Amino acid sequence: MVLCFPSTPKKLAMTIACFLSGAAILAVGVHFSYVNVAPQQARIKARHKFVMETLKKKYGYTSPYEKLARKDSHDERTQVSSTREHYAQARNELVKETISNLGFKK
């Protein structure tokens, strides 16, 4: 109870009021969290799509999932290794460009 011994009806009412206010705050937090899930997922998907398009335009990068989905393959191992090389090259160039834009010297 809110205030311990001896227990009175007023103290019981205070305990119930504190419990209900805490439960209400928790319920409001859960509601706002649930309401904001869809916009956050949409932003993440849009950001992922933008990054993939930028890599594709700038470096000719195609994700391994897209290559395997197309199945226009000659040898999947060759595709995966070349994809890894393209990804590594794109990542390294992106890091170099980012560092140069920040003004740091490598």
Q: What is the pLDDT of residue 40?
A: 87
61 CB neighbour count, 10 Å cutoff: 19
What would the pLDDT profile of 57-73 be if each residue is shown by its tens digit? 888 777 777 777 666 55
Higher model confidence: residue 91 or residue 64? 91
DSSP state of 56: H
The answer to whether the pTM exceeds 0.75 is no
pLDDT at site 27: 95
Q: For 5-50, how does the pLDDT look when each residue is reduced to its tens digit (9 = 90+)?
A: 667 888 888 989 999 999 999 999 999 888 888 888 889 999 988 9
**Is the model's pLDDT at 92 over the cut of 90?**
no
pLDDT of residue 102: 73
ω into residue 9 within 30 of 0, thus cis? no
pLDDT of residue 1: 45
